A and B are shown apart, each in its own frame.
Chain A
Amino acid sequence: GAGVSQTPSNKVTEKGKYVELRCDPISGHTALYWYRQSLGQGPEFLIYFQGTGAADDSGLPNDRFFAVRPEGSVSTLKIQRTERGDSAVYLCASSLFAGANEQYFGPGTRLTVT
């Protein structure tokens, strides 16, 4: 079956611009997670959803970052007033439910802020 998909695969934007990154989880998975991976580092947690609600957003670095999942399936990560330090690979993962042991990762969106 289809895995987790993310679009776009690459995004280049100018400092100060707004960007949206999309994640399409595995069908039937109720939990969805966003992570950020900087070069040479492991992924760092940003936020996760159980259904439509953000169950834990403690990893969001500041209020420029926001994520939604209005229908409990597709999620969008939104970054306002982008900064060069936001450049990273943004990873999405889904699992059958929050607390299920296996999270399935998408290929990521590489964001470059110039």
Chain B
Amino acid sequence: GNSVTQMEGPVTLSEEAFLTINCTYTATGYPSLFWYVQYPGEGLQLLLKATKADDKGSNKGFEATYRKETTSFHLEKGSVQVSDSAVYFCALSGGAGSYQLTFGKGTKLSVIP
């Protein structure tokens, strides 16, 4: 079945530091890949997505590239802000006619001034 493995947290960075959160996946077929974010006290929000190999999703300074050869979708941001503190989830859907999302365990990011 489908599965997602993402970097264990928590991650603590200073403001303006570079962020990478690793994500790898296992799926049959050609899944779509997502990063969701959960800010403190809020619901899950879609951060970015990519639907086919070599696509790059981007939003709010975050980027991730769909790498089929390494089955990865790492999240990056060049300069994090305190407001980026949240829990980040890598997820996939589709791949074998399944439309539900399969999530990783989440990575908690704390950015300190």
Contact = CB atoms under 8 A, between A and B. Distances in A.
Contact of A105 (B45, B102, B106): B45
Contacts of A59: 100
B99 A42 contact: no
Which of B49, B99, B100: most chain A CB closer than 10 A? B100
Contacts of B42: 107
B105 interface: yes
A90 interface: no
Interface in B61-93: 89, 91, 93
Interface size class of A (residues with CB under 8 A): 20 to 34
B51 interface: yes
Which of A31, A35, A42, A55: most chain B CB closer than 10 A? A42
Given A42-B105, A101-B49, A48 B94 contact: no
Contacts of B28: none
Nearest to A59: B100
A91 B44 contact: yes
A101 B46 CA distance: 10
Interface of B: 4, 32, 36, 42-46, 49, 51, 89, 91, 93-94, 98-106
Given A43-B103, A45-B101, A99-B94, 8 more contacts: A35-B100, A35-B101, A42-B104, A42-B106, A43-B89, A48-B99, A59-B100, A98-B99
